[in-house]
Each structure stands twice: as structure tokens, then as C-alpha cells.
Amino acid sequence: MALSRAELLSMFHKTAAEIAEKEFKSITEATVISELGIDSLGMLEIVGAMERELKVQIPDESLAGIQTVKDLLELVEKRQALG
């Protein structure tokens, strides 16, 4: 079953904290991922963890443009819709 945007955001928050090994006080959809101290390697790790949890696959090409949390969540949502 597809998760809501709020659920996806909270999943991102939890996963990012695991990967970066630190607490983030607040993450909103407008947060720029690199400003969380997450580099491209860390971002791929987060994407991988979310892909596994949600059983979706996000093609490499579409990852390229991601800057904010919103960019990523929109992609995930689109893949969820494809089922």
C-alpha cells in the first residue's frame, strides 16, 4: 500500500538519521539534502534503504536532479503509483 507524503517524509527523516548517524531536529520537504551533511554516497544509501522498504525501484537517471527532500519524495511517490 502506498504511503502518504507525511509518512514518506518521516521515513526519510528516520533513514537519514540512521545513515548519517546523527539526529536531525527538523526536516521539511524544502530541506536541501546536501545541507544535512549527506553527500552523494549517503544519498544513494538513503535511496537504497527506502527502495528496499517500499519495494520500489528508482532509476539512476532520475536521481540526478534531486536537491531537496521534496524532489526525492515526489520520485518515490511516482514509483509507488506505478506499483
Partner 1 sequence: MALPALSPVRQPGRLVAPTLVQAVRALAHDAGRGFTFIRADGGERFCSFQTIFEEATRRAAHLSARGVSKGDRVALVIPEPDEFVLTFLGAIFAGAVPVPMYPQLSFKNVDTYHDTVAHITSASGAKLLVTTEATRPYVEPVLPRTPSVEALLTIDALTGPAPQAPVVEVSEHDVCFLQFTSGSTSRPKGVVVTHGNLSHNSEAFMIHGLGKDSSIDKGVSWLPLFHDMGLIGFVIGPLFTDIPVVFLPTASFVRSPRIWLDTIHKHRGTITYAPNFAYALVAKRLKDKDLSGLDLSCMRVTGCGAEPIQARTLRDFADKLAPAGFDPKSFLPSYGMAEATLATTFVQHGSGFVTDVVDAGSLTRGEALSSSLEKNASGDSSELAQELVGCGAGFPGHDVAIVDEQGNRLGERQVGQITTTGPSICQGYYNEPELSEAAFRRREDGRTWLFTGDLGYFAGGQLYICGRLKDIIIIRGRNFYPSDIEWVVSELPGVRRGNVVAFGVTVDAAGRHVEDGTGEEQLVVCAEAFQSEAAGITEQIQQAVAAQIGLSVYRVEIVPQGALPRTSSGKPQRRKTRQMFLDGTLPRPRSAAAGEPEAT
Distance (Å, rounded) from C-alpha 6 to C-alpha 75? 14
Three-state secondary structure call for residue 35: helix
Distance (Å, rounded) from C-alpha 29 to C-alpha 21? 20
Cell (9 digits) for 5: 507524503
Among 21, 55, 81, 83, contact with partner 1 (rule: CB under 8 A): 21
Cell (9 digits) for 32: 536541501
Among 1, 55, 57, 83, contact with partner 1 (rule: CB under 8 A): 57
State the number of CA atoms in the 13 A half-sphere of 30 facing the CB.
0
Among 38, 56, 72, 76, contact with partner 1 (rule: CB under 8 A): 38
Give min distance, CB of 30 to partner 1, in A: 10
The footprint of partner 1 on this chain (CB under 8 A) covers a number of residues equal to 32
Judged by CB under 8 A, does residue 24 bind partner 1?
yes
Binding site for partner 1 (CB under 8 A): 20-22, 24-27, 31-32, 34-42, 44-45, 47-48, 51-52, 57, 59-61, 63-65, 67
